[in-house]
Amino acid sequence: MTQHTKATRVNKSVLRTRATVLAVGLGGSLALGTGVALAATPHSPLSAAASADSLVKSIQAQAKTQQKAADRDEKSAAQKNEKHTKKEKGKKADQKKAKKAGERDKGHGAKGKRADRSKRGPLNASSWVAPVGDAPLSAPFAAGGARWAHGHSGQDFAVSTGTSVKAAHGGTVIKAGGNGGGDGPAYGNAIVVKHAGGTYSQYAHLSKIKVAVGQSVRAGQEIGLSGNTGNSSGPHLHFEIRTGPNYGSGIDPLGFLRGHGLSF
């Protein structure tokens, strides 16, 4: 093989190497310069091919490294964008909740205000209940007898000792204890609850008291157990509705409860 033929083959190999480098898209200038250098310096075909292969691998490795870096940057940007989006959604959700809470507090007109007040506490509970359910009635209000100096001050319910006694309406306990809670020993263990509108309820002859003075109670809440304490001829609940906190201000309990939707 002539020297001219060898040089021609080397040149063709270098040209193929240059085309490969340009196809990869990276390091074009370096590849071109290297190709010129190779063309200017005679080498054997094997040496030229090895140099070209090494250069291609180097450029390919560089391309992979750059691609990985680009992928990491893109992933990091996507994560930051996702966090920002979640944060904005959270802010909007909090603003929406705050707006709804404000609307509930404000209410809509008088009807809305009444509805809000009815949920604020036991003093504004709207329902009345019988203190011992549908228990049999015994001595009525204003009944005469040797046991009462000025007529019966309440309504008696014939129940056995230990029967659950419920608050007839939401309110605040203002009396609770022996000696009628301060109304006198004839009542035994007694409770008086103050309700809205200047109304009071009393529960007497109890075997056990389950509330304390100052405690708020809701309609239907257990406040004690019936018994036979004080001036009593047998187990029962003495129940009063009063217009004041003390003895002597009682009104007909059944008439009052019937006026609030209960039947006996």
Instruction: Give the CATH number, domain containing residue 154.
Output: 2.70.70.10
Q: Could you give the CA distance from residue 232 to residue 200 in angstroms, rounded to a whole number?
A: 22
The domain total for the chain is: 2
- Out of 60, 85, 110, a domain closes at 85
Residues 78, 131 share a domain: no
| pLDDT exceeds cutoff 50 at 252 | yes
Contact between 130 and 262 (Cβ < 8 Å): yes
Report pLDDT digits (tens) over 182-204.
999 999 999 999 999 999 999 99
Residues 172, 61 share a domain: no
Residues 249, 143 share a domain: yes
Residue 104 located in a structural domain: no
| pLDDT exceeds cutoff 70 at 161 | yes
- Out of 31, 62, 85, a domain closes at 85
Contact between 236 and 137 (Cβ < 8 Å): no
Tokens of 40: 């200017």
Q: Could you give the CA distance from residue 257 to residue 255 in angstroms, rounded to a whole number?
A: 6
Residue 121 located in a structural domain: no
Task: Pick the closest to residue 31 from 45, 51, 6, 61 (CA basis).
Answer: 51
Tokens of 142: 């204003």
**Where is pLDDT greater, at 199 or 107?**
199
Predicted pLDDT at 23? 43
Residue 162 located in a structural domain: yes
| pLDDT exceeds cutoff 50 at 11 | no
| pLDDT exceeds cutoff 50 at 15 | no
Q: C-alpha distances in angstroms, 82 versus 1, 5, 77, 243?
A: 67, 63, 9, 66
Residues 143, 252 share a domain: yes
Q: Could you give the CA distance from residue 264 to residue 259 in angstroms, rounded to a whole number?
A: 11
Residues 135, 54 share a domain: no
The pTM for the full model equals 0.53
| pLDDT exceeds cutoff 50 at 75 | yes
Predicted pLDDT at 217? 98
